[in-house]
Amino acid sequence: MPLMIAGLIIFLGIHCVSIVAPAWRDAMAARLGEWPWKGIYGVISLVGFVLIVKGYAAARLEPTFVYMPAAWLRHAAFALMLPVFPLLLAAYLPGRIKTRAKHPMVLAVKFWALAHLLANGTLADVILFGSFLAWAVADRISLKRRAPRPVPGLPASAFNDVVVVVGGLLLYVGFAIWLHPLLIGISVMG
């Protein structure tokens, strides 16, 4: 578990720079250049992510249960995951969905983390998904107070909403059926 916690500190720490020090982030991006800053940001994020994955995999071998989720919570989690992939796509395919969600990627993280907290009750799950949920809440609050940065994506279009919904639901089904068991080792369908 220490590896996972170190990964969370690194991954969420770099993702908190805009929350706690937006002026510093902007100054660094201006000094280094936007792409070099994003490169450093990406490498640090990747290191944190790898540590999270390795630490979480190790923690799953000797689970400490905090609570045992009721069976119906797994169905609730399955339903809460429905908007996650469409929201992720909406972040880069602007349309009405992005406009209404305001910050679709942050909202997707909230749904993802909450769904996993409902369905899983080990200490590692509570720390992992609780950390991401807390980060998403803090980030959303801070986004109300800071100047928006441009997000790369396609031009706004009503057609983007169709792509977001259809593509997002196809990704959801594909991930639930094939990728979750392959990457995570847990079937969500059975």
Q: What is the pLDDT of residues 150-187, one digit of tens each?
A: 777 788 889 999 999 999 999 999 999 998 888 888 88
Contacting residues for 175 by C-beta, under 8 A, at least 6 apart: 85
**Mean pLDDT score, 68-76:** 93
For residue 118, the one-letter residue type is L
Q: Which stretches within 34-70 are classed as H helix?
A: 34-61
pTM comes to 0.92
DSSP conformation class of 146? S
> What is the tens place of the pLDDT at every residue in 23-66?
999 999 999 999 999 999 999 999 999 999 999 999 999 999 99
121/62 Cα distance (integer angstroms):
13
Whether pLDDT at 68 is above 90: yes
